């Protein structure tokens, strides 16, 4: 068994879906597994000239790969079937490619109604938090106990350990800055967004080959806390970068990238391959800045930024093998 992991290093919206989609096109994966979160995620994917936004369904479906919503996820059946229908209508055979781990937990109407009342954290109001709470309170509803999902159920152990030559790509949701343990609590998501969380879906540590950490060259955040400084440049970044939440449609607050918190995410997740997205946005804005050691650093051009990041990140993170800079929506 071999497993690669794709995860976000900031506050979500880093273009993890794009990276997963590209890896699926080049790899030999037998399975793509969503390992955390629920329909609070929104992965934007450009496939054969068309734009897709998936909330539950892993990106493997676009390349005929068996795609599983893992036991670490919570699933809203209504949203699940909506996505299946949309993909089928677009010519993507999701009906035959998508499975749900039988021990994944289900988001109910009660969960969504409760989450809809949130004003403190700024959640997506999709019911994820209450569903996870009930899971750990041992009163949740599993997929195997939900009749409408019975044709999609899969036993993770039988699927991964009773078949030969398994190669998995784990697709994460949200980002390390929103992790329930390591993020800015209480302004966090309700699941774990780490490499370790992928393993909790039933894979041993020694199976992990590569960990793809995904970031933006600046940062964004959707939620209740104040994140964006008072500077018109961030309004420009928001407009140029089309920074609206893929799930809620809310405007994403913008700020300069924080290298110190990024290093923490890289180290704690064992990132081997680092991707910086949205390079084209700062090219258009014409400003290159980020925080390091609690100081705002300013650079004259993109080449200076790439040089600084490459030297400092490689030095501080010995396990890091490759750094990529991307300004394209559909590829690294």
For residue 226, with 0-12 CB atoms within 10 Å meaning exposed, 13-18 middle and 19 or more buried, which class applies?
Answer: exposed
Closest CA to 17 of 58, 48, 56: 58
| Contact in structure between 5 and 212 (CB atoms under 8 Å) | yes
Annotated catalytic residue: which of 11, 21, 31, 43? 43
Is 43 part of the annotated catalytic residue set?
A: yes
Q: What is the predicted pLDDT for the residue at 268?
A: 96
Residue 251, SS3 per DSSP: strand
Give 62-95 pLDDT, tens digit per residue. 999 999 999 999 999 999 999 999 999 999 999 9
Q: What pLDDT score was predicted for residue 246? A: 64
Question: Cα torsion at 299, 302, 307, 308 (round to 10°)?
Answer: 30
The pLDDT tens digits for 183-205 are 999 999 999 999 999 999 999 99
* Average confidence (pLDDT) over 234-249: 86
Residue 245 in this model has a pLDDT that exceeds 80 = no
pLDDT tens per residue across span 267-290:
999 999 999 999 999 999 999 999
Q: Which of 13, 115, 134, 273 is catalytic?
A: 13
Q: What is the pLDDT of residues 148-168, one digit of tens each?
A: 999 999 999 999 999 999 999
Which residue ranges make up each domain of the chain? 2-325
Is residue 10 a contact partner of residue 216, using CB atoms and an 8 Å limit? Answer: yes
Pairing of strands 98-101, 322-325: unpaired
> For residue 247, what pLDDT is reported?
65
Domain 2-325 has CATH 3.40.440.10: yes
User: What pLDDT was estimated at residue 17?
Assistant: 93
Q: Is 13 marked active-site? A: yes
pLDDT score recorded for residue 140:
96
Pairing label, strands 153-154, 208-216:
unpaired
Q: Is 90 exceeded by the pLDDT of residue 296?
A: yes
Percent over 70 (pLDDT), the chain: 98
């Amino acid at each position: 068994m071999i497993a690669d992991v794709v995860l976000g290093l900031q506050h979500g919206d880093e273009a993890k879906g794009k990276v997963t989609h590209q890896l699926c096109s080049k790899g030999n994966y037998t399975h793509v597994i969503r390992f955390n979160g629920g329909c609070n995620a929104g992965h934007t994917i450009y496939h054969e000239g068309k734009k897709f936004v998936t909330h539950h369904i892993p990106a493997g479906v676009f390349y005929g790969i068996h795609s599983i919503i893992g036991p670490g996820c919570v699933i809203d059946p209504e949203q699940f079937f909506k996505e299946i229908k949309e993909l089928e209508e677009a010519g993507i055979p999701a009906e035959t490619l998508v499975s749900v781990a039988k021990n994944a937990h289900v988001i109910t109407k009660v969960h969504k109604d409760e989450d809809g009342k949130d004003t403190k954290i700024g959640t997506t109001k999709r019911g994820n938090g209450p569903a996870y709470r009930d899971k750990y309170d041992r009163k949740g509803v599993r997929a195997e106990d939900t009749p409408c999902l019975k044709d999609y159920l899969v036993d993770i152990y039988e699927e991964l350990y009773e078949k030969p030559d398994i190669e998995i790509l784990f697709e994460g949701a949200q980002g390390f800055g929103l992790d329930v343990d390591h993020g800015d609590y209480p302004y966090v998501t309700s699941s774990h967004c780490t490499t370790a969380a992928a393993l909790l879906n039933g894979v041993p540590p020694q199976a992990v080959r590569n960990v793809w950490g995904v970031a933006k060259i600046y940062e964004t955040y959707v939620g209740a806390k104040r994140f964006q400084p008072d500077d018109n440049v961030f309004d420009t970044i928001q407009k140029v970068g089309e920074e609206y939440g893929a799930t809620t449609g809310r405007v994403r607050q913008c700020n300069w990238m924080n290298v110190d918190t990024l290093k923490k995410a890289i180290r704690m997740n064992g990132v081997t391959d680092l991707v910086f997205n949205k390079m084209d946005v700062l090219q258009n804005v014409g400003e290159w800045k980020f925080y390091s050691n609690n100081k705002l650093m300013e650079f004259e051009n993109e080449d200076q930024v790439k040089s600084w990041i490459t030297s400092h990140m490689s030095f501080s993170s010995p396990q890091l093998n490759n750094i990529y800079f991307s300004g394209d929506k559909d590829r690294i």
